[in-house]
Structure 1
């Protein structure tokens, strides 16, 4: 079977590892230098090139993993060309592509979320901010590489961030419209779910560590580590989410005819007033994928194909009763300026999910902000955590850094 994975990061490497088999010929578009697959030098936004490659290679199945091509409608084009895909079409990907659309969707379907206002005029947004009680959260409406959300502690900081988004176009068109919303308090949780539009099957809960520095300090990143299951996500909370969030979301998808056959990500806040949705994503999180997929005991490819055929109800989704801890190694300075081109040294037997790496004469070297991740699983969280830190300490990178507090509760 010929299978292509669209994307280049640790998430895509985790998917590839999980579906690898002698029976399959695997392609990564564009992939990265650490992947054991045929990497195809096409950008994820090169829709025509990807379709041409799919036709030339006669691909049997395509997994579209990153947010940008999903929101841009790559699945629509591929499916219309006759290729089976895992990933929502453009209508379903709106749930991530526009935070304002997602908020309005939650309002329409009575899904608990933070009070908020949407703006596309800087003066109106600034006037609203001047009357707000801080802290508040300001979000760019569109995609911003996981970095468009900022907790604002005061008016001066908020006005500066609004200007950066709406005037200086820090994230391009993504910041032309913004959300200003109440800052929720509580423990965060991520729940990813397989969804075929008819059935939704949640995976294990997870806890993502977004901030760059220890103690949850510094700027938001794409994710510096993750643990699963989330220790704060109790069976009672799971039941509340099923009844008040997961099922109403699925009903809303059906009512609004959003074509969603892929992975639906629920970013949640466990508040004193109940669970509330912070955001939806339309794909596997990173590093949630690296954390959860090693615990998946069911056949990932079979699940993905069942989603594409809208037969998820027949497919088993089972996870091992273990804990997992994922630690990300990044280039010093990420998510802002950082150096690349430093050589990685690591034991070849180490199980690594590579992300921002490229080939050099001396071997693999760093080529991006998040370079790689290590995930370990064990009967307890502390055992999994200890294993991950023992393993990542064996990796040497001149300007590499990682948080030492992942899984430290």
Structure 2
């Protein structure tokens, strides 16, 4: 396996720029996800790494070798496509063996490597079957087997679970991650599904309009979103946002929201001249009869192990709270809200970028709210 290094990768199609000066490193043996909505540039980036597209500029290193303008066949990379790309007239064995046959590998070695790949994927019993009669899940395993049998330096996977139903997709996520751990493979995986990325990846690059908005471990990205886009894209339900109608100086430790002031980690940036957004995750909101921030319940979604409660607040916005099933919430109720100020994120409204606070450096205990005095 090998490290993959991308430096200032750029791809333009006539007047349209698909990828804008992306730089990142995929460590040897890492499961790396390119995550983002349709059209964000993630598949184009993957295809350039694999050699299926040539970049307009920038460089791609596989190990210590510059492969930027090498053909795909010269990169020792295996590609797994969303729609399997299998040969329907061949058996499972023939499909898995095809890359080795094309390379002229001796028959005895082909048999050994096909058997090993089939055993790893638990499809040995299917080797004599035609792929045309297989389920979608088994076809995906055959496609993975065809990639594994090559023993490449790295695996590229372009939404390989996209054609599966939701229940089977969840199972395949577990199997793919377990397979990755067994092989120790360097893997670059493209998906638009945040749950797939969060459940499998060691590191995630979130892309938007050809740009990498944030790069980091799943927990880091979820808890410390670098932009409004990332905060909104990650999480279900997404992060809540409320406008802040007050100036905050560097070092400020309270945030006015309607008739209350929320204690927050000290603001590390000078944002006294910038309109801000306050962001809080649904699980960091608690319903409380005595809390000073008031809201009306306008929707309740019961999910078995929790409830998603939609609330219109006196602070001038709508919030969604993720609360326990034991919490009473009925449409039309007037309730109080407790917001966990230690878990909040501030954003610059103009740029959408996160504002630094002391929360970025130290763990703070949960803080409450107090009543604002009006003169």
* TM-score, with structure 1 as normaliser: 0.23
Larger radius of gyration: 2
Larger % of helix: which? 1
* TM-score, with structure 2 as normaliser: 0.25
